[in-house]
Structure 1
Amino acid sequence: MTDTRGVCASSATHLASDVPYVRGRADAHKAASALAEQLRALDLEEVFPGLMADVTVNGDGVVQLGHVRPVGARFLATLIVAGLTTELMQDTGLQASPDLPCRSPSMP
């Protein structure tokens, strides 16, 4: 899925007969659909207007977020930090303090 630098291979614009593209594209489509469903549930669909499934020249499925608005990038960063914090707290047995403020980026 990645090149020697760890970067995703380019999109498949010219298909090769010996590469199984369908499975990768199907996996990417399922993942993109699941993400889109969650974004719709949070009324954040317009923050990621370029969300789509794709496949690389190697047949690996990828989900493209497209151009992400700044608020979307901040939102993703907040979700990642919250998820990592929750995981760390579970791993160490810590409890969340009700005195800690919970912030989220302002949405449009």
Structure 2
Amino acid sequence: MSVDIDWAAFLSVFIAALIAATLIVALYATGLRMLVRAGRAPVVSPAEFTDAITIISAKDIRRAEKQAAKAAKKSPLTPAQRMFSLVIAYACFALCGAAVITGVLIIFFHH
């Protein structure tokens, strides 16, 4: 029994996967950056695990939320610039989701 590998096909799949992964990460990072620029920094309360090295208290969470709100108020951008950044952020997230869905559909219907 002999196994033949189509190296050209392997290389094209590798390059396509590398480009797609880079595109998705870049779009997501740009979307987050624009979201923060628009003054809507996502504040996520950290999960608390009993075996964690550091457990963040409710006081620390409130302090972080307060700092994020304060930073949003200090934005030197005009409301129009903030709205533009928010639109760009949502567009980046939509393109990121479209790239993922396109990849899944290609895998699903290509076979």
Instruction: Please report the TM-score for the alignment, with normalisation by the length of structure 1.
Output: 0.29
Of the two structures, which has the highest relative contact order with CA contacts closer than 8 Å and spacing of 6 or more? 2
Give the structure with the higher percent helix. 2
Give the structure with the higher percent strand. 1
Higher-Rg member (1/2): 2
Instruction: Please report the TM-score for the alignment, with normalisation by the length of structure 2.
Output: 0.29
